[in-house]
Copies of this chain bind each other. A is one copy, B any other.
Amino acid sequence: MSALRFPDLPPSEPQGADLLAQERSKTTFSVHDLSNYLYGEEYLERQEKFLGLIENEPAFDKSNRYFLGRTERFAGALKKDYALVKLAQQQKWTPEEFQQADILIDEPGPFGLHRGMFMPTLVSQGTDEQHELFLKPALRYEVIGCYAQTEIGHVSNVQGIETTATYIPETNEFELHTPYLTACKWWIGGLGKAANHAVVMARLISNGKDYGPHALCVPIRSMEDHTLLPGVMAGDIGPKFGYNTTDNGCMWFDHYRVPHISLLAKYSSIKPGSGEYIKPPNSKLSYGTMVLIRASLVGYARIGLAKAATIATRYSAIRRQFVDKDQPKKMGKEVIETPVLDYSMQQYRLFPIIAAAYACHFTSKEMMRLYYLNIKNMASGNFSLLADVHASSSGLKSLTTTMAAASIEECRRACGGHGFSSFSGLPLMLQDYAPNVTWEGDNYMITQQTGRYLFKSFRDLVAKRASGKFSASQITNPTLAYLNTYLDNPDLKCPATTPAQFHNPEIQLAAYGHRAAHMVAEIVHGLDVEKRSWNSMLVEIYNASVAHCQLILVQNFILGIRGDMPQPEGIVATPLSPAAKEALTDLSDLFALHQIHKQPGEFLTSGYIDAKQVSMMGKAIMDVMEKKIRPNAVGFVDAFAFPDYYLNSALGRFDGKVYEAYTEMATREPINQTEVIEGYEQYIKPFTNPKGLKGKSIQARL
């Protein structure tokens, strides 16, 4: 029997292409200008060039991505990673260029952690000799590495790891050992099948003393034939919610000896022979990398938000449901069913996500600027920025990845039933995005780091103010500024008396600042005066971190549009056209006000906002969504400049031909390759035609 062929019918009128064209004709700004402002022209030109190299190359083909089982997908990812490295070598890509191509292909693979964690760890913690030995062959992919930190019984808590690395003075070696099942390395990306080396975090033991977790770089598979080396057992940890194209692996050591050079020794080391431990000079230095990773996750959150919003917004302009009797929609003279994007609920669900994508864009840019500034400062011994940047990056990692994961799911549901189809692109996106809320610091856990910094800043500020020697000019960062404003007047009330006044950014910032400071003050009171335990206040601490970071997002959005945001050294900002500036200001208003309106509790209990103002804010939001953002919605997502190859979505296509693409994809479903399913004879026929009747008679009975 042959494969099914679905009929070649057109959709009923109006066509998706015409609806999107109508949307695009209403956009009040140049999409091209806004894209340039976001990415810069060079980036966009390179995207075009890379698409040309990638899109039609079989190793990077996405057309079967949604159909394959895990085994086939992993095999494909290995092939893809190989081809990508070959292409990068041939094209002489910089790491930034590599990353841009990698984003377009959009599939985590077995070599990802080699680049993302293994090599960066060698760079930051290895000596020159170790760079020669490990990093150079790693750059050529001769050494392929993974970063083996987490253990099955100790996923988020590095201090709790049980794997040991015991120094053996007699042979000047370390002996790696897995004493318990709970010490088995687990979740290690690239370890399952691909890596031949691992950076292993193990408790360093010398002369009977335990110095806690340290990193060693060790071979795990034979360079000759890729078999496991004696003393090492490793494999894949099995299927996961997402990320199934990566071989997250597990590893046990059985008294596995490695040479002294394995211990990454830039900061701390063991003296050969004596086994004496040499302490790291400054533990703060390692915070820098953590800030970089967390800041870059804010950028990835931006991509997740923007990608999901692109698909859901374009499809919501095409998908029609019911006729809105108060405001019937017309196409020419005909009344058509109302596009779901015209319904206020759909706007309330989607537009804040578009706004959040832009908010994260500006904050991610600012975090990267601060990261590089801090690195430069630290190199000259100035650690003044570190605490604030570290605290913000932790809280922002938590907040923005939580927002992005929730928003991808919201966009999936906002596509109605079709968001459940893999062909929408949203299920796999959600699944592959999901680990972001857990890795690099669990999103609940790491907000304690933000909290600690906020409480310390508050206590210091209160003490300084009480000392009588304080002047506002001493304030060195935005955190202290909003805490100080609050302390000046904890009973401040919002002066707005009309919905329109909430468009004033000063009022928005005051509301967020007052709320965050009030929460910090309450927690410090709970800890210091009521003597409540830290554990009993974890919920409040989490909420305070969210409040602090929402303020940062609002702030950077406002500055980002104004053009007031400081630029990285040597970078001249592309100017934003007045029309785009006006449109982005609407989004910024929505971003600031929607969060207050949706969850007004803390703004109300902080005393700054009252119930009447929340209700006014609701009207301000509905108004800006319907009149200002609605006409620009498709323009805003078009400006993200995601090519169809990247989106890989029937619903999110630029040309609006959603149903044509959707049904075409279904014809490629493997079980559609025969008309009658394979199990028919065994599992259906015994019920439906047990006697094996033939001919017309049997059909005629019905």
Contact = CB atoms under 8 A, between A and B. Distances in A.
When all copies of this chain in the complex are counted, the total is: 2
A12 B533 contact: no
A497 to B, nearest CB: 17
Given A435-B420, A666-B238, A601 B614 contact: yes
Contacts of A474: none
A321 B157 contact: yes
B70 A702 contact: no
Contacts of A672: 235-236, 238
Contact of A226 (B67, B322, B676, B686): B676
Given A70-B69, A178-B9, A141 B416 contact: no
A337 interface: yes
A699 interface: yes
A459 interface: no
Contacts of A150: 417
A227 interface: yes
A239 to B, nearest CB: 4
A688 B250 contact: no
A421 B240 contact: yes
A427 interface: yes
B671 A74 contact: yes
A142 interface: yes
Contacts of A243: 420
Interface stretch (A481-489, A537-545, A636-644): A537-545
Interface stretch (A79-87, A118-126, A567-575, A579-587): A79-87
- Lowest 3 A-B CB distances belong to which pairs? A69-B69, A241-B427, A82-B683
A669 B237 contact: yes
A426 B605 CA distance: 36
Interface string A596-609: 00011100110100
Interface stretch (A208-216, A277-285, A342-350): A342-350
Contacts of A153: 11-12, 319-320, 659
A604 B679 CA distance: 59
Given A70-B670, A155-B418, A344-B539, 4 more contacts: A11-B182, A75-B678, A224-B695, A416-B442
B238 A67 contact: yes
Interface stretch (A168-176, A190-198, A463-471): A190-198
A550 B562 CA distance: 43
A660 to B, nearest CB: 7
Interface string A613-631: 0110010001000100000
A229 B675 CA distance: 11
15 contacts: A82-B682, A144-B688, A155-B416, A160-B337, A182-B659, A192-B671, A223-B702, A228-B675, A238-B665, A240-B420, A342-B535, A344-B536, A417-B439, A522-B615, A540-B618
A165 B121 CA distance: 67
Contacts of A452: none
A381 interface: no
A68 B68 CA distance: 10
A529 interface: no
A438, A534, A665: most-surrounded residue (chain B CB, <10 A):
A438
A69 to B, nearest CB: 2
A330 interface: no
A107 interface: no
A12 B154 CA distance: 11
Nearest to A694: B224
Interface string A52-69: 000000000000001111
Contacts of A418: 152, 155
